[in-house]
Amino acid sequence: MSAPEGADSGHPPAGRAGPVRRATGAAAGPGEQVCHLYRLRPGAEAEYERRHAEVWPELSALLDEAGIYEYAIYRRDLLLICVLRTRSGFAHAGAVTAASPVQARWTASLAHLFAEIADADGEPLWAHQVFHHPGHPPPA
């Protein structure tokens, strides 16, 4: 399949607005959705899903304290796609969770399941939004 006309040229197709670049990762502000990726080690899928079906109550409390909401993790084979929003921006949420012994224990308890969690600089594997259609929600 070939790319649509105008793709990869740095210019949108005629009559279309250019892509909206939103902050990704630590630069994301309050309410902005962020997405990052992880890759599991082969064979770790069942344990990863079991552990997330039994998330520690103190970890859930920490996510609330950090202002993290609408947090969902999707899995396709070994690829994990994490999507979330924060009340006070991602940098704030990251600082709260990084300072927590609960987060340190949770991360250490899962470390053996991951093949890839960050780039060469230690940054999470951020994904940036290339399309968004808000649509119209159904009437209440």
Kindly list the catalytic residues.
52
Q: Coil, strand or helix: which one is 39? A: strand
Closest to 18 measured CA to CA, from 27, 30, 9, 31: 9
Number of CB atoms found within 10 A of residue 28's CB: 21
Contact 55, 109 (CB under 8 A): no
User: For residues 33 and 129, is the Cβ–Cβ distance under 8 A?
Assistant: yes
Decide: 69 and 77 in contact? Cβ < 8 Å.
no
Upper half-sphere CA count for residue 24 (Cβ side, 13 Å):
15
CA distance 111 to 6: 42
